[in-house]
Amino acid sequence: MLKALPKFAYMIKLGFRYIRVYKKTYHHPFVSQKAAHTQLSLDRQSYSNSVLQYLNIEVKLIGQIPEKNKILYAINHRSLLDIIVMEHLFSKHNKSGIWIAKQELFDAFYGDFFKYSGCISVDVETGKGLLKFFKEIKHILSRVNDLNIYIFPEGERHKGEGIKEFQSGASKIAKTNNLDVVPVFINDKLESVFKNAPYKSPKIIEVHIGDILDAKNLENDYTNFMNNAKRDLI
C-alpha cells in the first residue's frame, strides 16, 4: 500500500492541476463546441502522456486507428489506466473525442476531473437519466460532426478473463447517431500493471484495434475480434 502512495499522489496532484486547465476551456464564453472538445482532448492527452512517462509505460499498437472520425470506439475495461493508455494512442493520431462515464464518477471527490475534461455522465439507474444522456449525445454530435465517442460497453471494470456482458448503450449510441464502431482490446491486466509501476525498464502494453463492426451484433463480433487477437499472440 505504501508503495502505491507516490504514484497516486502524483496522479492526483497532476489531475487537480489539469482541472484548472480544463475549466479555462469549459467556461470560456467564446469557444465553439468543436474548438472546446478539440482543446479538452489535447489536454486530456497531455495529462495521460505525463502519467505514462512517470510510470515508464509504453504502448504498442497492433492494427490501425482509422483516419476518419465520427467513430464509436468500444474498449474493454480492466483498470483506471485504460483511459490513460487510450488517450496516449489518440494523441499520436490527432483524435478528438468524449468519454462516456458513470454518474458515480462525477459524484466522487475527483469528479471535477471528469466533468470539466469533456466527459459525459450517464445515470443508468433512472429512465430520465438515460433519456437526458441520449439527447445530450445527439446534441453534441449535431454541433461537432467529426467527434469520436469512447466507451466501455461492459459498463464497469472486469477483473476476470475475457469480457463481461455488454450493456446496450454502446449499440444504441452507434445506431442512433450513425456511428461506425471500432473494437479495441487492451491485452493486459492493467490493474496489475499499475500495481507494479513505476518500472525501471519500459513496460510494454499491447493494444489491438480491429476493423469496423456491425453495431447490431456488437458483443458477438467484439468477442470474435478479441479471440482472434489472442490467437495471433500464441
Q: What is d(CA 89, CA 56) in angstroms, rounded to the nearest whole number?
A: 15
- Asked whether the beta carbons of 211 and 159 are under 8 A apart, the reply is no
Q: What is d(CA 207, CA 188) in angstroms, rounded to the nearest whole number?
A: 8
Give the mean pLDDT of 150-157: 88
pTM above 0.85, yes or no: yes
Instruction: Check pLDDT > 80 for residue 159.
Output: no
> Burial level of 198, CB count in 10 A (0-12/13-18/19+)?
middle
Q: Which residues contact 131 (CB under 8 A, 6 or more apart)?
A: none
What mean pLDDT, rounded, does the chain reach? Answer: 90
Pairing of strands 71-75, 180-186: parallel
Q: What domains are defined for the chain? A: 2-233 (3.40.1130)
Closest CA to 120 of 189, 159, 169, 80: 169
Q: Give the per-residue pLDDT at 126.
A: 63
Pairing of strands 203-209, 120-122: unpaired
pLDDT tens digits, residue range 14-46? Answer: 999 999 999 999 999 999 999 999 999 999 999
Instruction: Check pLDDT > 90 for residue 79.
Output: no
Give the mean pLDDT of 198-208: 94
Instruction: Check pLDDT > 70 for residue 82.
Output: yes
| Beta-strand runs (E) in 54-213 | 57-62, 71-75, 97-102, 120-122, 148-151, 180-186, 203-209
Instruction: Check pLDDT > 90 for residue 80.
Output: no
